[in-house]
Amino acid sequence: MKTDYQTIQVEINQGVAILRLNNPPVNQLSKPFVEEMKDALISAYGDNEIQVVILTGTEKNFIAGADITEIQQVKERGSILPLVMENNKFLNSIEQGPKPVIAAINGNCLGGGLEIAMACHYRIAAKGIQVGQPEVQIGLIPGAGGTQRLPRLVGLPDALKMIATGQAISAEEGLKKGCIDEVVPLESLLSKAFEAAQRFLSGTLNHRDRMTRSRKDQLPNFVMKKMIISYAREEAAKKGKGYIAPFKAIEAMERGLSNDFEADLRIEAELFSDCAVSEVAKNLIGIFLNTRAAGKLPRIKGIEPQKIRTVGMLGGGTMGSGIVNLLLNHGFKTILWDINEEAIQKGISAIRKTFAYPIKIGKMTQEDLDRKIQDHLTTTTSLDDMKGADLIIEAVLEDMNIKQGIWKKLQEVCRSEVTFATNTSALPITEMASVLKDPGRMIGLHFFNPAERMQLLEIICGKKTSDQTLATSVAFGRAIRKVPIVVNDGPGFYVSRQLGAFMGESTFMVGEGEDPALIEEAVVDFGMPMGPATLGDLTGLDINYHVVKNFEKSLGERWQMSPIYKLIYQTGCYGRKTGAGWYDYSGEKPIPNPKLQEVIHQYLKEKGIKPKKSSQKEIIERMLARAINEAAYMIQDQICDRPQDMDLAIIYGLGFPPYRGGILRYADTWGIRNVYEHLLKLEQEHGVRFKPAPLLKEMAESGRTFYLGF
């Protein structure tokens, strides 16, 4: 057979052709790579010496999914369908081919990778690897037979679970469920695959009997199928509001899984095409690609990050304990400092609590945690013990004097190349760094609560933060599996200011007679995880009050606080922590807080304001217009300059619905001119708060958009 390929290494051994797939970096199914695979298989089929083919990957990867940038570029539904059907022919040619093909799965096997493996006649996987169909996470469904082959192997309920949620399972689970035939240690993968090849050669296994398309034993009868599908729809409806793909995937299995496999593939291909041209898929693919690119800034290109092995954590409170969880989970030696032994003990028990959930669901054991703490965590009340650290993260009280005092001392203790990171929510990084001899070593690493779970890491550069400090911080952010978004210093940095503009507008509406419950409903229906009242009660209305006061002081008249918010603050009802805020939490279920309702009622009465009922659209567009405008001001003020990153920050940090792509993606879809004109109208009605940013005016006039203009 032919052996010279760019992306495939061919080895022939006693009638078995081993095709090692090697398309760096992750064996993504790009067009040229697939063409070579096809060619190599045809060549192997045509060679009488070869009886069995083994497909395996090189290094860590088996086969990753399709190249989604190719999908992203397709605009017309009509041009996708033939491509999908053509690809199906390739997989069919494996499944119905003249010789057995074994998938020796050496690494994660997701999306198109699993679809190819399922078209093979035997799947042997290395221990611990993941298999799955994650397409829904980028707004698609499996488009190469996944919705039709997986249920035939694992049964409909498990296939629905895997495909409609996109969750992967381990090879071991795959073995139990039926999509994997054998799990072996990685070192013996090929020798075991070779043994399986011998079983085909001896006739113990027959590849014609092992075609996934012919399997029926796992498929439910008509009545069961109806019940299972209807349950899956209900489950998807609970979580999938605004999404398309989970429902299309369910439909593919509902209408497919028949006796006519080719017709089933056709149904899948049609539904795949519907998804591929949808705005939701474009948004989700955009987010996926932008997430990979987050933190890759020209400013730090080529700079080697400092190696971080030991991290000094200052403070084991709410934030510190969550950050230590991340450090331990990602193998960093951690030195926890706190003010006294009592604070340290509190910190340790808070750290243990952050692991309660993974222990509860069996992801780790109590012994694993004890070992992690024993091996990786030391504690101290002396800052002198920080001298061995490569990075210091500070999460002590929000007080500039206290923080600066600590840094002054630490610069005497630590090596000069050690990065100093503060987790302050709002104190200026530039001012904090001013006490250092070398302010370039300081940076803001703004984690979100709960730090061990929230994916966003807002990285804030002070005026003098060095490129080296930034490069090290971005690399560290990646190492603890966060999405690092880099912004510049300024009031509220990016995320708090963006949130303040978006959610903060709701209080003004309440002061105009709008029902808070209807605002809450509009925001949740739009796709946010919670409305402004619930969120305010969670963060604390006192904290929000001080944040806005700070904006009022530093950002001027556009940020005047709503008069009604001052009155609400004066009630002392600060949210959950005081038992009541917008809601009263004393009963079984939260109810609107009568005390606040009375304050609002009195205010409206005194001002002679009548109750008002805007539509959900009016409410949302008003909040969004203000948010988009603030984003434009922030670009102008050079707080941030990458709209893609700004959108990621509000998706990962504030739960903005991913299928909508983000605030700025939304602005582009809405039309910048429309946004601008809406702002002018709102400015006339409500004043300076809506004064359009000059940048937005310029964009409206020039036709520039956020995504294409920067």
Residues within the interface to ligand NAD (CB under 6 A): 315-320, 338-339, 343, 395-398, 402, 423-425, 447, 449
CA distance 557 to 499: 18
Cβ(429)–Cβ(442) under 8 Å? yes
CA distance 414 to 387: 5
Which is the catalytic residue, given 36, 95, 115, 452?
115
- In degrees, rounded to 5, the angle at the alpha carbon of residue 474 between the alpha carbons of residues 410 and 327 is 65
Shortest gap between Cβ of 347 and ligand NAD (angstroms)? 6
CA distance 399 to 381: 19
Shortest gap between Cβ of 386 and ligand NAD (angstroms)? 13
Closest CA to 639 of 560, 535, 551, 528: 551
Tell me whether residue 137 or residue 379 sits nearer to ligand NAD (CB atom): 379
Shortest gap between Cβ of 485 and ligand NAD (angstroms)? 14
Tell me whether residue 289 or residue 339 sits nearer to ligand NAD (CB atom): 339
At 62, which amino acid appears? F
Q: Within 10 A of 425 (CB to CB), how many other CB atoms are there?
A: 18
Shortest gap between Cβ of 423 and ligand NAD (angstroms)? 4
Cβ(526)–Cβ(503) under 8 Å? no
Shortest gap between Cβ of 387 and ligand NAD (angstroms)? 19
> Is the peptide bond prior to 450 cis by the omega test (within 30 degrees of 0)?
yes
CA distance 666 to 672: 10
Tell me whether residue 196 or residue 314 sits nearer to ligand NAD (CB atom): 314
Active site residue 115: yes
Encode 199-233: b = buried (16+ Cβ within 10 Å), e = exposed.
ebeeeebebeebbbbeeeebebeeeebeebbeebb
- 278: three-class secondary structure by DSSP: coil
CA distance 246 to 526: 19
**Residue with structure tokens 């089933």?**
264
Tell me whether residue 191 or residue 449 sits nearer to ligand NAD (CB atom): 449
CA distance 356 to 366: 9
CA distance 229 to 233: 6
Residue 625, Cβ density class (10 Å: 0-12 exposed, 13-18 middle, ≥19 buried): buried
Shortest gap between Cβ of 301 and ligand NAD (angstroms)? 29
CA distance 387 to 396: 19
Tell me whether residue 341 or residue 598 sits nearer to ligand NAD (CB atom): 341
HSE toward the beta carbon, residue 466, CA cutoff 13 A: 17
Tell me whether residue 17 or residue 313 sits nearer to ligand NAD (CB atom): 313
Shortest gap between Cβ of 405 and ligand NAD (angstroms)? 8
Shortest gap between Cβ of 649 and ligand NAD (angstroms)? 14
Closest CA to 710 of 697, 695, 691, 694: 695
Residues ≥6 apart with Cβ < 8 Å to 289: 68, 69, 72
Tell me whether residue 146 or residue 315 sits nearer to ligand NAD (CB atom): 315
Q: Where are the beta strands (DSSP E) in 109-175?
A: 109-110, 122-126, 130-132, 169-170
Which is the catalytic residue, given 11, 35, 59, 135?
135
Tell me whether residue 136 or residue 395 sits nearer to ligand NAD (CB atom): 395
Active site residue 521: no
CA distance 488 to 640: 6
Shortest gap between Cβ of 520 and ligand NAD (angstroms)? 22
Tokens encoding 555: 């950002």
In Å, what is the CA distance from 26 to each residue of 62, 419, 552?
8, 32, 49
Tell me whether residue 323 or residue 620 sits nearer to ligand NAD (CB atom): 323
Shortest gap between Cβ of 326 and ligand NAD (angstroms)? 14
Residues ≥6 apart with Cβ < 8 Å to 375: none
Tell me whether residue 138 or residue 541 sits nearer to ligand NAD (CB atom): 541
Shortest gap between Cβ of 550 and ligand NAD (angstroms)? 12
Tell me whether residue 95 or residue 338 sits nearer to ligand NAD (CB atom): 338
CA distance 469 to 442: 7
* 3-state SS track over 304-324: CCCCCCEEEEECCCHHHHHHH
Q: Which helix (H) or strand (E) holds 13?
A: strand 8-13
First-to-final CA distance of the chain: 51
The residues pairing with 532 across neighbouring beta strands, listed in sequence order, are none
Cβ(443)–Cβ(471) under 8 Å? no
**Alpha-helical regions (H) of 168-278:** 171-177, 189-202, 222-239, 245-255, 261-276
Residue number closest to ligand NAD, CB atom: 317
Tell me whether residue 318 or residue 365 sits nearer to ligand NAD (CB atom): 318
**Residue with structure tokens 């037979």?**
145
Residues tagged active-site: 115, 135
